[in-house]
Amino acid sequence: MTKVILGAPSLNGGKGANEAVTEAFAGAPFPQKLRFTNLVDFDQSYPEARLRVKGVGHAESSVIVEIKSEDALIRLSSSIQNLSIIWERGEFLEISDEIEDPADNAAPSAKTTKKEKGA
């Protein structure tokens, strides 16, 4: 699994967004579906990628979007970094190639298990 957390480099001590994304997704096939997870408490929208994520705690704070090319991903990461600098946030948005919903792999609840036993 590949994961990159983008934010203001001056605040997180990390690499710039373009370098981080290029390094993380080098050689990856495109188009590619990627998961974008918002790490701040307000909505974010990036029309160039048709990406909109709700703030932390909202059901749509993590979405899957198909990115057409590595160049498109690099341009998007630049936009994300620019906004993270304006908002002064070290952790702003996470990009991951993990597109399965973790809730789909969760263990069944006790209520479901009891129902199955009674059937």
What tens digit of pLDDT does each residue of 30-64 get?
999 999 999 999 999 999 999 999 999 999 999 99
pTM of the model: 0.81
Angle formed at CA 55 by CA 38 and CA 44, multiple of 5 degrees: 65
- 79 SS3 class: helix
**Bridge partner residues of 46 (DSSP):** 51
pLDDT at 114: 41
Q: How confident is the model at residue 102 (pLDDT cuts 50, 70, 90)?
A: low
Return the residue matching tokens 């373009």. 18
| Number of domains the chain is built from | 1
Neighbouring CB atoms inside 10 A of 43's CB total 13
Using pLDDT thresholds of 50, 70 and 90, give the confidence band for residue 108: very low
Q: Place 104 in a pLDDT band, splitting at 50, 70 and 90.
A: low
Indicate the burial class of 12 (C-beta count within 10 angstroms; 0-12, 13-18, 19 or more).
Answer: middle
Range of the domain at 104: 3-118
